Structure formats: structure tokens, C-alpha cells
Amino acid sequence: MKRFVCMLLCLALTAALAVPAAAAELSLSAASAILMEKETGTILYAKDEHTQLEPASVTKVMTLLLVMEAIDSGALAWDDTVTASAHACSMGGSQIWLKENEQMSVEDMVKAVCVVSANDCAVALAETVGGSEEHFVELMNQRAAELGMADTVFHNATGLPAEGHVTSAHDIALMSRELILHHPDIRRFTTIWMDSLRGGASQLVNTNRLIRYYEGATGLKTGSTDSALYCLSATAERDGMELIAVVMKAPTSNERFADAQTLLNYGFAGYTLVHVTPEQALPPIDVVLGSQDTVQPVLGGNTALLLPKDQAGALEQTVSLPPSVEAPVEKDQQLGTLTITAGTEEVARLPLTAGEAVARLTWGQMVLRLLKMGCFAE
């Protein structure tokens, strides 16, 4: 039930944060593309973003997400040993040529998936987390539904061609955001340009060449097959703002990287992320019939605002709070608003909430308070 509610919230937030992209005129070769800001989930540009296409190895963003969630939950550890099965070793495509029963740590396998898109390691990890690749795929589709990825159906953990294995640029952005927002440790691997495994015997060079030459590049995952053509979920961070650029079905590898760079450049040139804090201390609010006299309002919710750069330098704040509230007051109960304006345009209205709960006085407490105030004194 809890995850179902989360799924509904994801859908609602995605709809609310989507910015019409008609104003952007970008020349892209990819059949489908999207640009999303990580912190707020705001969509800055979109081109046929819900078209269902083959994602190739960009599928592994979901594989990595489930592995990272298993690590965070304690079900898996970085130094756990993974034994390669015959099935994992039979994958073909991009791989590090695991041999059946070869053992490697979770950390090294995640590195191989992130850097060289190793199909054999992806399946070995999937089997470790899910018991089998088939069950792991069920977990992938379940997680996709929870994230609101309505365009997505997974049939394997690798992205190797399979009939009906499809997603969209929009859905790739959603799962990419989930991965980098809640599991920033993945950067340890997605930012590697060159490395090695097996004591230096196996050399690794990142399939994402943006890592080498694009300023602020942080990841994330490439993919290509004859039918999917060239796909990419590219992430980069500058000045505290991280963007996710997804391109699908670009005609060539060079064009996929060029498209991603065009998207990222557009975002970094035009937008900035502002973290709002009240300019002045918020005054405490009187609590009528409360177990304490006042409650302290605090700025609640997500305080990050994604703004066009021409608005960010001239922001003004207006605080709206009542002189008093009646008990009981619940923690995080909205008490007022902090309105952010740029000139005459309102750009955000943020909730001011109760920093703590305040219970209502009982009859006995009321009597004691009256006694202390001297109401019964002669």
C-alpha cells in the first residue's frame, strides 16, 4: 500500500513539474529525447518522450537501481562474493568474459556494469538479488510501476534484444533520477574513465565518453544494438545542479553524444537551482489552549527552486503567518506560506509548517494554568 501511494505521488509530481518544452528549439538527431533536472524532477525539454523504443543497455539503470537498493537495505554488501552461473556467462554482447563459477565481489561487478556495460555481470547480480533473472525481471517491472514508468516493459536485466522489451525517454529519466538522487554512491563507478579488474588483467574503458571530456559529467549509462540504435542516459552537474539528458534511437554513436551535450548545454545555459531559506527569522505563533504558549514555524517541503537564470537574481520573499492557531497542532501542519516573486511574477509558494506538535490542554491543565495566573485570587 505504501509503495502504491508513492507511485501515485510520483505520477502527480511528474505531471506537476513538467514544463512545456515548446519554447526550446533544439536540433537533435535522436528519435526521442528528454532533459530533466534531478532535484525537482522538472522537465526542461522533451521530444516524443513517451514513444516506446528499445533501450538496449540503458536497461541496466534499473538493474543498478535494484542492486543499490539491495545494498542500502542490507540484503547485499559491497564485499559479498558473487558466483557466475552458466546462464550469466552465456549472455554475449558487452561483457568481461566471466567463466562459469568464477567469483567476484559485488563491487567489482557493479564497476563492470557501469564502466563497460558487462551483460554477464548484470545477470550475475540479478540472480544474486532476485534468485533468478526471471524473478529479478519481475522486480524490475514492479519497481518501474512504482516509479510511474507507464511506457515500460522489461524482459531481461541487460537490454539485449527481446520482443516487447521497451521503455521511453521519459521513463529512463525517471529511473535515472531515482538512482542518482537516492544512491549517489553510484558515482564512484559511473565517473570512472579507465580502470581494471582481476588484478589488472582485465582493462576497463568507459563506454560513455562524456565522462572524459564533458565538464561536470557524472554518468550514467550507454546502450546500443542493431535495432535500438544508439541510446544514452547522460548526467552532469554544475554549480550544484545535476541534469539528466536521455536520447533514444540516435543514428550513430557520435550523434547520441552530440545530442546529449546539446541538451545539457541548453539546461546549464538557461537554468539554475536556488535553495530557498527565509531572509529573516520566522516569528513564533501563539497557540490558543496549547500545552505550550507558542509553536515555531519552519520552512517545509522541498526548498529547491529551478528557475530561469534571468529570474534567479531578483527574488523577493513574502511571509504570511497567522497571529495564532488553536491547539492541537500537529508536527508539519501547514501554518502559512513563504511566497517567492521575481518582479511581479510569483515563482513559488512554499509551505511554512509547525516544527513540533503542540497538544491541547486538558481540563485539569486548564485549571492549573488559571490558578497560576491568579484567576482565583481574592
Q: What is the set of active-site residues?
A: 57, 60, 117
- Separation CA 312–CA 310 (nearest Å): 6
Give the end-to-end CA distance of the chain in Å, rounded to a whole number: 60
Q: Is 177 helix (H, G, I), strand (E, B) or coil?
A: helix
Q: CB of 266 within 8 A of CB of 35?
A: yes
- Separation CA 203–CA 199 (nearest Å): 10
The residues, ordered by sequence, that sit 6+ positions from 95 with a Cβ below 8 Å of its Cβ are 118, 119, 120, 121
Q: CB of 211 within 8 A of CB of 192?
A: yes
- Nearest CA among 178, 171, 280, 258 for reference residue 213: 258
- Separation CA 66–CA 22 (nearest Å): 34
Give all strands (DSSP E) within the chain, no chain letters: 32-37, 43-47, 81-83, 103-105, 194-197, 202-205, 217-225, 229-238, 241-250, 271-275, 285-288, 294-295, 297-299, 304-308, 315-320, 324-326, 334-342, 345-354
Q: Is 290 helix (H, G, I), strand (E, B) or coil?
A: strand
Residue 68 identity: M
- Separation CA 234–CA 244 (nearest Å): 6
Q: CB of 61 within 8 A of CB of 233?
A: yes
Q: Which run of H or of E encompasses 129?
A: helix 119-130
